[in-house]
Structure 1
Amino acid sequence: MSAYDDADQHVNSEPTQLDDDPIRVLDEDGNVLPNAAVPDLSDEELLAMYEDIALARRFDQRAISLQRQGRIATYAPMTGQEGAQVATSYALDDQDWLFPTYREHAAKYVHGMSLESLLKPLRGIREGYAIPDDVNVMPEYIPIATQLPQAMGMAWGQQLQGQTDSAVLCHFGDGATSEGDFHEGLNFAGVFDVPAVFVCNNNQWAISVPRDRQTASETIAQKAAAYGLEGVRVDGLDPLAMYAVTRDALAKAKNPTGDERRPTLIEAVQYRYGAHTTADDPSVYREEDEADAWRQKDPLDRLRNYLSAEGILDEAVDAEIDDRVDAQIDDALATVEAVETDPERIFEHVYEEMPERLREQRDELLALRDKYGDDAFSEVLE
């Protein structure tokens, strides 16, 4: 069923997209816009989506603090983008595949990854990169845009194998549209009509490069026309609009009818409130007033206001959600920080066969450990 079909009491009529205006369901205050359609989600599903966005927001705040304390490594914040991440993953079925970037923490969590698995790699525990067999999430990519042709390849492979009940959803940033892999991935996707949905998280900045220096195109969504894809521009700070558009795109990818094209390019118009990573200082290249203006469209506030107006959320339930969110993060952090590891493991899996120079470094490290003991050795590392 289309996410825009009249299906429950929340639905009005199908929204329209005027020119290049992003599709929206909620206005900045969380009110349903005239002629907009709230997607076919139960009260319980809407409340769960809100809780996952709240969890993502709190996780992000805690992760930044942990990095500043030296308890995790460099971290890519997602505040401002967590609404789109949660909503797009809610649109996925279990058998669908997710190709994330290094910023899609919430998207990975909603599609089956645990909070512990998000924290482990940041703590230097390589097992955190291992994806459980029953979770269809690919490991995150650090090189920009390399996941686009790979996502296309998986979708094409599914098509060649005759699979019709699964699709691939691939996240990337606006900076990735300047890479050759973007062109190659979308070009092949269009030529072979692969069952894929490409979500460009247009957060206005590729580190310090603004969107208008990435492309002369008025929008990123319009680039889809060059590849024979459908392009859709959505308010990425509106979780309900993101869910509805993504759900429709995935349905089109799995079950095309008539002459409809299977792949879709979604441009999620949003903003990165904070730094590109915790190694970045956004005050060097942009004005704080710019971020403040986007915060008026905050996805968490908009969904909270909508759910409150509908009688789905009240202060007591919101307080319970806050307590559960804090407890989940505390438990995950305690579990991860209790993991013991051996410094010798940093030498493993760098080369197929350890070269002599690396063996000498390892032996020197072990000699120091034998001389000073584990406790003293830990103090030296700190």
Structure 2
Amino acid sequence: MASSIRGYAAQSATAPLAPHRIERRDPRADDVVIDILYCGVCHSDIHVARNEWGGARYPVVPGHEIVGRVISVGDKVTRFKAGDMVGVGCLVDSCQHCEPCAQGLEQYCKESPTFTYNAIDRHDGTVTYGGYSERIVVSDKFVLRVPEGVDPKSAAPLLCAGITTWSPLRHWKIGKGHKVAVVGLGGLGHMGLKFAKAMGADVTLFTRSPGKEAEARRLGADHVVLSTDPKQMEAAAGQFDFILDTVPHQHDLNPYLATLKIDGVHVLVGLVEPVDPPVHAGSLIFARRTLAGSLIGGLPETQEMLDFCAKHGISADIEMIDMKDINKAYERMLKSDVRYRFVIDMASLKNGA
């Protein structure tokens, strides 16, 4: 039978998140039932809870960086068993038959993927609820194995911030000999530095903050360029093979494009608004540069990313919070007052905190 469980939800665009009971569906034959232990807090959670992107379906239960233990599995599930440590990221379903899905690129599903929260279940028409809750029921195809050696707490942000930066680095085959720059040092940027360094690249951080050099080097940067310093930017002209741009708001791309080599690539992973100010097309044309975008990642590459993290000892830098402090955490996130991702200890919800 469907079960009523505890969670935290926004009831409107202006309401703070508060305790709310939700109904989880009856498990299907291909489902995995997961006891949620940790849930990362993503900036997208704020956007959706406050309806800043439109289309919010209230009550909204956010959370798409989920780590927990398997409680039970459906009759058709063979990949997981009770007790396994697993994760669920931004997706919980897709059409499973279009070309992107067949390639393991479910995030680009032509019939639109089913997102972990604030989406419509393609089988029963119910609204999906995320990881700010005690349990979740997910198709086994969209469940990831958290390898031994990866701390479950800091694994949670890997399922969004991690894969969002891993996917473009892998797609453009970044490795030894490449010069990579990361724009912005936040939840995404700090993972980009770690991954690019572990892949063997020479890594630079572009930042507007003069005081971030020591921190950037700790995270894997070989060099730091102050993007507000014209002389430093001029010295960086034509230097990079690849720029990973994690900034989530409108900013001038032209100074960064000028730092790319011929055939260099500038990838946007944070910006979902129109590019403003406009890009000077000549900067692209006269050096055969590419301005591209990338969206999270598919299930195969997300598992690959988790396995890479286990092999190389990579995890997200996190700050643990109790569920009751989520509204304070949102306000701190808006001030960039977190290094670099909040993770909710879901025991605090289960214990009534």
The TM-score with structure 1 as length reference comes to: 0.29
More RCO (CA 8 Å, sep 6+): 1
More helix by share: 1
More strand by share: 2
